[in-house]
C-alpha cells in the first residue's frame, strides 16, 4: 500500500512530504521531480509569488544512488518567501503575532469556515495551510508514482482545455505529440488558436481586477484492462480518480469520458462498440467511456477532466465582513494569481498518477520494481491470450 502526507505552511520554512510503501528499485532523482515542480510553477496567469520561488525537491531519505530503497521517502521543498516572513511565521515563542493579522475573509477561500472551525481570530492561521502552495509537495509525491508508472510503460499527459468561456478543440494525437504540444504552450494547451484567445481572456480579467477558472484534461496511456475494480464501491477507479482530483484546491467538478455531455445523449451514441481481431484482441473505435467501465480500466486511454473555479483572491473585491469589527468591507489585495488552471493541470497529472499507481500496486504489488514488472508482463500475456 502506498500513502503520503504533506506538511508545511505557505510562508513557513519549507514543505515536506513523506511517501511510504514505494517498492525498492524505482529510479528517482531530485532533478526528475524538479521538472514537474517547475511546470507547476509556470503557466500564463500566475502572480508575483512564483517570481520568488524556485521549487526544488531535496530527497532526505528512502533513496540511495538514484534508486528507491523500499523505505519511506522523505522530501523537502524550501519556501524562498520564508525569508520575508520569518519573524511572523516563526514556530517559536518569539514570533510576532500582532502584525499581518488577517481578519477579512475572502469569499471563495477557506478563511471564514477555517477560522470558525479552529477558533482562530487571525485567519493567517488558516490561509497558510489552505493555500495551494501545498500542491508543490503533492506534485513531488505524485511524481514518484509517475516514475513508477513510466517503468511500466504508462504515460500521464495533462492539458488545459478551457479558460473561462474559451474552450479548445478536441485533439487526437499520440502521447508524444501531445506532450510536445503541451510543452510548447504557455498555457499547457495543445491548441494554439484557442491558446491565444485564452491568454487574451486572462489579460482582460487581469485588467478588470477579476480572475478566471477553467478545465483541464488528463489522459493516461498504456493501462491494461482490469485496473481498479467493481466488487466494492471503494475500488471503483472512476470514483477514486474523481476523489484525487477533487482533493485539489479549487477543483469543483470532475468528469470521465463523455461525462456530463453523455447524460444528454442516447445510449446508442454513448457506449463504445466492441470489436475483435486476432492481431489487436478486443478493441474499440471510440472512447466515450474515457477508458473506464464498471470501475475498471477497459484498455482504452483513460480520460478525465476537472473544472477549476476562478481564483478567490480578487483585485476587484467582493463583499465580506471583518471578523474582528463585524463591519462590512471591500478588501484590497497585495498579490494573487489571476488564473492557475495550467498549474492545477500539473497537480492533476500528479494526483491521477498517484491514484493509478496505488491501484496498479494493489493488483501487481511487490517489494521490488522487478517483481512488479514480472507480474505486469504475465498479466499482459494473459490479457493477450483472452
Ligand X SMILES: C=C(O[C@@H]1CC(C(=O)O)=C[C@@H](OP(=O)(O)O)[C@H]1O)C(=O)O
Residue placing its CB nearer to ligand FMN in the complex, 182 or 248: 248
- Output the smallest distance, CB 186 to ligand X, in A: 17
- Output the smallest distance, CB 326 to ligand X, in A: 24
Pairing of strands 73-78, 57-61: antiparallel
The entry of ligand FMN, ligand X, none that residue 344 binds, CB within 5 to 8 Å by partner kind: ligand FMN
Residue placing its CB nearer to ligand FMN in the complex, 12 or 299: 12
From 144, 142, 71, 160, select the one nearest 355 (Cα to Cα). Answer: 142
Sign of CA dihedral 359, 364, 366, 370: negative
CA–CA gap between residue 198 and residue 192 (Å, rounded): 10
Residue placing its CB nearer to ligand X in the complex, 79 or 185: 79
Binder among 28, 59, 136, 223 for ligand X (CB under 6 A): 136
Query: What's the CA angle centered on 217, arms 190 and 4, to 5 degrees?
Result: 125
- 233 — phi, psi (to 5°)? -60, -35
Q: Is 47 in the site for ligand X (CB under 6 A)?
A: yes
Q: Is 132 in the site for ligand X (CB under 6 A)?
A: yes
Binder among 133, 147, 181, 219 for ligand X (CB under 6 A): 133
- Output the smallest distance, CB 111 to ligand FMN, in A: 9
Q: Which residues pair with 329 in a beta bridge?
A: 320
CA dihedral 187, 157, 49, 311 (to 10 degrees): 70
Q: Which residues pair with 63 in a beta bridge?
A: 68
Q: Which residues pair with 193 in a beta bridge?
A: none
User: Any binding-site annotation on 106?
Assistant: no
- Output the smallest distance, CB 134 to ligand FMN, in A: 9
Residues within the interface to ligand FMN (CB under 6 A): 47, 108-110, 130-132, 135, 248-250, 309, 311-313, 336-337, 340, 343-344, 347
Residues making up the binding site for NADP(+): 40, 46
Amino acid at each position: 500500500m502506498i500513502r503520503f502526507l504533506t506538511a508545511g505552511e505557505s510562508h513557513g520554512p519549507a514543505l515536506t512530504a513523506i511517501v511510504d510503501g514505494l517498492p525498492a528499485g524505482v529510479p528517482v532523482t531530485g532533478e526528475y521531480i524538479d521538472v514537474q515542480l517547475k511546470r507547476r510553477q509556470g503557466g500564463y496567469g500566475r502572480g508575483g509569488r512564483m517570481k520568488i520561488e524556485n521549487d526544488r525537491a531535496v530527497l532526505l531519505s528512502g533513496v540511495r544512488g538514484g534508486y528507491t530503497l523500499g523505505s519511506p521517502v522523505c522530501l523537502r521543498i524550501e519556501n524562498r518567501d520564508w525569508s520575508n516572513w520569518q519573524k511572523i511565521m516563526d514556530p517559536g515563542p518569539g514570533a510576532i503575532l500582532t502584525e499581518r493579522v488577517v481578519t477579512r475573509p475572502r469569499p471563495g477561500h477557506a478563511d471564514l469556515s477555517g477560522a470558525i472551525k479552529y477558533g482562530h481570530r487571525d485567519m493567517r492561521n488558516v490561509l497558510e495551510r489552505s493555500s495551494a502552495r501545498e500542491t508543490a509537495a503533492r506534485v513531488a509525491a505524485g511524481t514518484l508514482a509517475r516514475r513508477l508508472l513510466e517503468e511500466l510503460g504508462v504515460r500521464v499527459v495533462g492539458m488545459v482545455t478551457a479558460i473561462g468561456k474559451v474552450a479548445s478543440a478536441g485533439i487526437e494525437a499520440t502521447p508524444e505529440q501531445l506532450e510536445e504540444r503541451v510543452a510548447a504552450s504557455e498555457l499547457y494547451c495543445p491548441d494554439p488558436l484557442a491558446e491565444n484567445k485564452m491568454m487574451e481572456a486572462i489579460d482582460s480579467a487581469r485588467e478588470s481586477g477579476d480572475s478566471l477558472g477553467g478545465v483541464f484534461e488528463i489522459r493516461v496511456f498504456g493501462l491494461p484492462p482490469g485496473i481498479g475494480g467493481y466488487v466494492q464501491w471503494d475500488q471503483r477507479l472512476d470514483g477514486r480518480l474523481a476523489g484525487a482530483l477533487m482533493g485539489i484546491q479549487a477543483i469543483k467538478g470532475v468528469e470521465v469520458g463523455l461525462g456530463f455531455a453523455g447524460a444528454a445523449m442516447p445510449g446508442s451514441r454513448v457506449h463504445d462498440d466492441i470489436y475483435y481481431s486476432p492481431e489487436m484482441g478486443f478493441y474499440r473505435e471510440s472512447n466515450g467511456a474515457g477508458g473506464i467501465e464498471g470501475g475498471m480500466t477497459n484498455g482504452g486511454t483513460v480520460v478525465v477532466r476537472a473544472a477549476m473555479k476562478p481564483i478567490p483572491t480578487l483585485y476587484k473585491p467582493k463583499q465580506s465582513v471583518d471578523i474582528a469589527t463585524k463591519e462590512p468591507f471591500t478588501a484590497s489585495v497585495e498579490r494573487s494569481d489571476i488564473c492557475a488552471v495550467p498549474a492545477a493541470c500539473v497537480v492533476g497529472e500528479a494526483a491521477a498518477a498517484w491514484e493509478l499507481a496505488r491501484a496498479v500496486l494493489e493488483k501487481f504489488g511487490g517489494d521490488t520494481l522487478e517483481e512488479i514488472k514480472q507480474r505486469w508482463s504475465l498479466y499482459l500475456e494473459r490479457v493477450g491470450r483472452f
